[in-house]
Amino acid sequence: MQRHYYVSVRTSLFLAIVLLVVAPFAPAQKVTLPLWPNGAPEPSQVNAPEADITKPSDRLVAGKRLMHLTNVSKPTLAVYPPADSVNTGAAVVVFPGGGYRILAYDLEGTEVCTWLNSIGVTCVLVKYRVPFAKHYPENAADLEDAQQAMRITRSHAAAWHIDPNRIGVLGFSAGAHLAVVLSNHADYKRPGEPEQKIDARPNFALIIYPGYLAEPPALNKLAAGIDPTSKTPPTFLLQAEDDPVHEENALVYFQALKEAKVPAELHIYAEGGHGYGLRPTELPITHWPALAETWLHTIHILGASSTAKP
């Protein structure tokens, strides 16, 4: 386990400059598709129209507001491609967080796409159904949305100029839990359903300040429905020791991945709290995208790392 209490000034300044340059410009959205053109597998429990319920009193992140999107009954995925000149062929399916009640759709969604596009990665942003009273394993609707998003992405690989064998997931908070569930239960199906021809398993996973992975109250073992195996994809984990959602979520899952012999990288920082997205501040943890990009090189998603051994 690595504990990081600082990053180099050069890395911090470089990332801050990159984010300042790209942040004012929304990524170029190519297409938006419904996850379930013929209707979701179960009836909607949402009785109100989709809305951003952000209030003036809501907390700011790095001095800016964030969206609180809720009442999503018609889930979608939005594709944000990088410029052709920098396209690496890799893609990431992104799940914003929000406690399965709301989606932080800009902080942990569109802003993530801006970063991914800057490193040559196609971003597939998922607007999955919320709110949920319960999530997987008690309720499988969240997992079904995640599976469908991955299968749609993989089925459009040629049209979207991506490699079907280099499609990962990135999730924050509850979205990180959903990314973990998909990583471990990609083959889930309801009783009587036919087998799917398109694989929903991601090729790698980035799990940022996850929730719901450790069983309360002790937080010393995995929660129900996680279940990593040797088939779980390589995983990047990041959390802060002062996260009110508890860093044990990342610690317990990392240990389970190690026992399953799954390649994993863990970063625990002293400070950071929860819900910082990619907005850089004076806290070193907020510069995690540089670590993630290096990791994507070391696992050969973005090509060989300059520091990797032959």
Is this model's pTM higher than 0.95 or not? Answer: no
Give pLDDT, residue 23.
42
Domains along the chain?
A: 2-37+56-298 (3.40.50.1820)
Give pLDDT, residue 5.
37
Count of Cβ atoms closer than 10 Å to residue 94 Cβ: 26
Cα pseudo-dihedral 178, 180, 181, 186, rounded to 10: 110
With a CB cutoff of 8 Å and minimum separation 6, the contacts of 132 are 100, 101, 139, 141, 142
pLDDT band at 26 (very low <50, low <70, confident <90, very high): low
In this prediction, residues 228-244 reach a mean pLDDT of 98
Pairing of the two strands 76-80 and 31-34: antiparallel
Distance CA 87, CA 85 (A): 6
In this prediction, residues 47-63 reach a mean pLDDT of 95
pLDDT at 300 over 50: yes
pLDDT at 200 over 60: yes
In this prediction, residues 252-269 reach a mean pLDDT of 98
Give pLDDT, residue 20.
42
Structure token digits, residue 308: 């990797």
With a CB cutoff of 8 Å and minimum separation 6, the contacts of 65 are 54, 58
Mean pLDDT of the chain: 90
Give pLDDT, residue 306.
40
Exposure of 5 in the CB half-sphere (CA atoms within 13 A):
1
**Higher model confidence: residue 44 or residue 160?**
160
pLDDT at 87 over 50: yes
pLDDT at 8 over 50: no
pLDDT band at 6 (very low <50, low <70, confident <90, very high): very low
Backbone angles phi, psi at 252, to 5 degrees: -65, -40
Helices (DSSP H) in the chain: which residue ranges? 9-22, 111-118, 141-155, 174-184, 248-259, 288-298
The least confident of 192-196, 198-202, 203-207, 219-223 is 192-196
In this prediction, residues 149-168 reach a mean pLDDT of 97
